[in-house]
Amino acid sequence: MDIKRSYYEDIELFKSSTILVWSILFLVFLGILPWLVKTYHLLGMSIYVVNLITINALVAIGLNILVGYTGQISMGHAGFFAIGAFTTVIFIVNWSFPLYIALPIAGFISSAFGFILGLPALRLKGPYLAIATLGFGMTITTIIKHMEFFGGRMGLQAPKLYLFGTPMKDIHYYYVIMIIAVLMVIGALKLIKTRVGRAFIAIRDSDIAAEAMGVNLTYYKTLSFAVSAFYTGIAGGLYAFILGFINPEGFTMIMSISFLAMVVVGGLGSVMGSVAGAALLTYLDIKLQVVQDIPAIGPALVAFSQKYMSIAGISNIAVIVYGLIMILIILFEPLGIFGFWIRTKRYWKTWPF
Amino acid sequence: MLGQLIVSGLAVGACYSLLALAMVIIYKTSDVLNFAQGEMAMVSTFIAFTLMESYHVPFQWAVILTFLFAILLGAFFELVFLRQAKEPTVLGLIIITLGFEMILMGFAGWKWGPDQRSLEFPISNIQTYNFFGLVMSKINFWTIVISLVLMLILFLFFRYTKVGIAMRATQQNQLAARVMGIRTKWILSFTWAISSMVGAVAGMLIAALGVLDPTMMMDPLLKGFASAVLGGMTSLPGTAVGGAMLGIIENLFGGYVSLAFKSIVAFAVIVLMLCIRPSGLLAKHYVKKV
């Protein structure tokens, strides 16, 4: 919306001092968030939920690099998530690597698989790519389920980590995850403004034109898959620790779909959007699992279920609401939550008109 | 052994090819992949189950009522959700179908609970026919017959009736079809209704072969996609060929190589097919202008 007068202005991270101040305030807020959540029971959240939101936001950012910036589709990100989780745990348990080495290695292994998935993606477009990635996700789950090395059907238990001698609790995990997340978010924001990021956007807009301009499609498409898988792998590694126990059945197609939903609901092509989408959908997911606890509607729903539907499946309301939100956002605001933000900003700025 | 594997592969492939048929019909007219196909079939099958169990409707009437429900479900989805989308991108359409899938899955899980049931079917699972020493259960045989008959009917319908040609015209260029006087909106609803009905048939047959629970269609959905891709997304006979081939390949792989990794075959088949011959075995290859 503002005119940039030099190249440096276009690529800098904080466009004005206002944004810099708000970013610093936000970081301070993140720093004291655990204390706030514990004391004030903010919206009924716990540190576990905040950790889960951050991890899902990491995956959403990774997926957004692939879907929003490069224009591909991936419905198999649960596979990369699982690879990250299992690799981290195995490296720590079997070969005694410390966390800060095992996590990047898991990220790199995951991005190697991303590269492998990117190779058939060079030839596929749109719905065919969606099917291929869907198959990839299910393949990974099947392979992990059947190999004894990964614990077979029972899954693996995440080891207890020690931070300077004391066993880590939720709060320590929170700070570790938040620091990693902030670094990776800054990385993603910077990535978009570099040459690589612009190549991605060019591929999204028109890949034939991009190739004509000299963007090496093979290199950049597979790179996009690899970077996206890297983010997802690291998030998966962290997920193993906050969940405590990973099991191949837990990385279903529903998980891939919910990652995609987070990206689309938040806004394609916007890092802030994917964080917002991840926060909203994770929060809804957690809260709706126990829908009977909502003060007003809860008992009414329980009574309704007992009369007409089964009571055991009441947590499926979460799934229904999820699907409904996905559809409504696409129908009414294709740009997602980020679209709402931009429209509000524009309305505010041009108010008298 | 080899013959037995092939024959049971054909039977299971017939189920996949029915699902693929439903998907190809929709792709042929609306150009959108219907990820909700499995769930639509599953809900229709549950309706049939409820009609037969709770209301003691005889089987034939339950089937007809289920078809009616499936038609309404397909038309409802197209009317309420797809039509409202303004200029949707490919990803947007996929997300809409995925959203509908989640709504249906949640609804089925809520209403009927996660327990497994079994669907009563007049054709038995246990009695078998015996051809030249190869054993095939009655229901497998009739599945193959039903799927071939349905596919033949639909193929003839698409090629030789006015409505069928109108459906193909709508896919190729919707605006031109409207200019020529085809009521495209009605055609789209009709397509979804038919596809949902075929899906309901597939769902009932799959439930008769196995168990009936809310997650029963997730695996066959992927196999159905694989069959559709194998045969060609715009070719109806291709679905039969694709389904049969996928069933046979999968069973041979399971029998000779490794039983545990049978499901991976579907994915490998998809990737190979899409890399070597993207439009499938039997479909014409359309090259899009830039």
pLDDT tens digits, B29-74: 777 888 888 888 888 888 888 887 777 777 778 888 888 888 888 8
pLDDT at B283 over 70: no
pLDDT for A158 equals 67
| Closest residue on chain A to B262 (Cα) | A142
Q: Which helix (H) or strand (E) element contains residue A72?
A: none
Which CATH number characterizes residue A234's domain?
1.10.3470
pLDDT tens across B1-21, in order?
677 778 778 888 888 888 888
Domain of residue B266: give its range: 2-276
Mutate which of B37, B267, B272 to disrupt the A interface (most A C-beta within 10 Å)?
B267
Which pLDDT score, from 0 to 100, does residue A235 have?
Answer: 93
- B289 inside domain: no
- Measured between beta carbons, which residues in chain A are less than 8 angstroms from residue B234? none
A280: nearest Cα among A19, A40, A18, A60:
A60
Domain range enclosing A256: 40-349
What CATH number does the domain containing B45 carry?
A: 1.10.3470
Residue A74 DSSP label: -
ipTM, 2 decimals?
Answer: 0.83
pLDDT tens per residue, range B132-187:
666 667 777 778 888 888 888 888 888 888 888 888 888 778 788 889 888 888 88
Low-confidence ranges of chain A (pLDDT < 70): 1-4, 9-13, 15, 40-44, 148-170, 290-315, 353
Say if B234 falls within a structural domain. Answer: yes
As given in the structure block, the two tokens for residue B125 are: 């699972």
Quote the crossing angle between the two packed helices A253-266 and A126-146, to the nearest 10°. Answer: 140
Crossing angle of the two packed helices A217-243 and A195-205, in degrees rounded to 10 = 110
| Residues A62/A68, Cβ–Cβ less than 8 Å | no
In terms of DSSP H, where are the helices of chain B?
A: 2-30, 37-54, 59-77, 90-112, 138-160, 162-172, 174-179, 184-209, 218-231, 236-252, 264-276
**First-residue to last-residue Cα distance in chain B:** 51
The number of domains in chain A is 1
Residues in chain A closer than 8 A to B260 (CB atoms): 146
Inter-chain CB proximity A323 and B101 less than 8 Å: yes
In a domain, A22, yes or no: no
Task: Give yes or no for a contact between B120 and B59, defined as CB atoms under 8 angstroms apart.
Answer: yes
In chain B, the number of structural domains is 1
B71 falls within a domain: yes
Domain assignment present for residue A2? The answer is no
- Alpha-carbon distance B124 to nearest alpha carbon in chain A (angstroms): 29
Q: Say if residue B290's pLDDT is above 60.
A: no
Whether A3 maps to a domain, the answer reads no
Query: Residue A32 domain-assigned?
Result: no
Residue pLDDT, tens place only, B87-145: 677 788 888 888 888 888 888 887 777 777 777 776 666 666 666 666 667 777 778 88
Which chain B residues touch A314 with a CB distance below 8 Å? 110
Would A285 be classed as within a structural domain? yes
Q: How far is B219 from chain A (nearest CA, A)?
A: 9
In three-state secondary structure terms, A258 is helix
User: Model-level pTM greater than 0.90?
Assistant: no
Shortest distance between the Cα of B269 and any Cα of chain A, in A, equals 10
What torsion, rounded to 10 degrees, do the Cα atoms A321, A323, A329, A335 define?
130
Domain assignment present for residue B286? The answer is no
B99 and A260 in contact by Cβ < 8 A? no
A123 and B274 within 8 Å at the Cβ level: the answer is: yes
How far apart (Å, rounded) are the C-alpha atoms in residues B238 and B74? 23
* Chain B residues with beta carbon closer than 8 angstroms to that of A124: 274, 278
Nearest-angstrom CA–CA distance, B266 and B250: 7
**Is residue A141, in this structure, part of any structural domain at all?**
yes
Task: Please indicate, yes or no, if residue B267 is contained in any of the structural domains.
Answer: yes
Tens digit of pLDDT for each residue in B201-242?
Answer: 888 888 877 778 777 788 888 888 888 888 887 777 888 888
Is B283 among the domain residues? no
